[in-house]
Amino acid sequence: MRNCLGVYEQRFQPGDVLYDFSDGRNMLGILMEGTAEIERIDTEGSRTILEHLEPGGVFGEMIMFKAAGDDSLVVRGAAPCLVSFLRGEAVMRRCEHACACHSRMVENLFRLVTEKATSLSERVEVLSRRSIREKLLRYFELQAAKRHGRSFQLPFSLSALADYISADRSAMMRELKKMRQELLVSIVGRQITLR
């Protein structure tokens, strides 16, 4: 199957660009080890984290969004990463051997697209809130619900959280301080507990 799909692996260090959507490579990337973030940088240099990826996370033109105008859209390593890349046309085209593995992979790809749609829907849910407090609370509620409890670990730093919710970092930190004082949340490092 590796030959059929043209799979190759590549290692990256934190801060490295794993994939640049403007290259037109039409590859599908699967994060095997490490963590990464899909980020958009607009023409003014503002950074927005569109998605946080963990092992098993998938990215590429065929299942993602396109950058608007002159915005940059890249996948950047947040930790040392190992990525398996597959040729996009090999994934979408049926194998001449009609192998069961290829059919199974196409089924899995549809499942991944569904998961991406759910993830993007949650992001819209967070960003549609008007205030920083509302955005934070909604994001925290969604994360806690995924872990079936009131406590969870942030998948990224507080600076990255500000980029994810499209808020000024200083303003977000002030709001988090108020929320702690009002006993709405407890924050220890990246550990968040809703009260």
At residue 22's C-alpha, the angle toward residues 82 and 166, to 5°, is 80
Question: Domain 129-194: which topology?
Answer: Arc Repressor Mutant, subunit A (1.10.10)
Strands 47-53 and 36-41: antiparallel
Question: Where does the chain hold its CATH 1.10.10.10 domain(s)?
Answer: 129-194
For all residues of the chain together, what is the average pLDDT? 85
pLDDT at 129: 92
Handedness of CA 179, 180, 184, 189 (dihedral sign): positive
- Give how far Cα 136 sits from Cα of 48, 94, 130, 142, 167, Å: 15, 44, 11, 10, 10
The pTM (predicted TM-score) of the whole model is: 0.69
Question: Where does the chain hold its CATH 2.60.120.10 domain(s)?
Answer: 2-93
Low-confidence ranges of the chain (pLDDT < 70): 1-5, 62-69, 90-99
Residue 58: CB partners within 8 Å, gap ≥ 6?
28, 29, 30, 31, 112, 116
**Domain boundaries 2-93, CATH class:** mainly beta
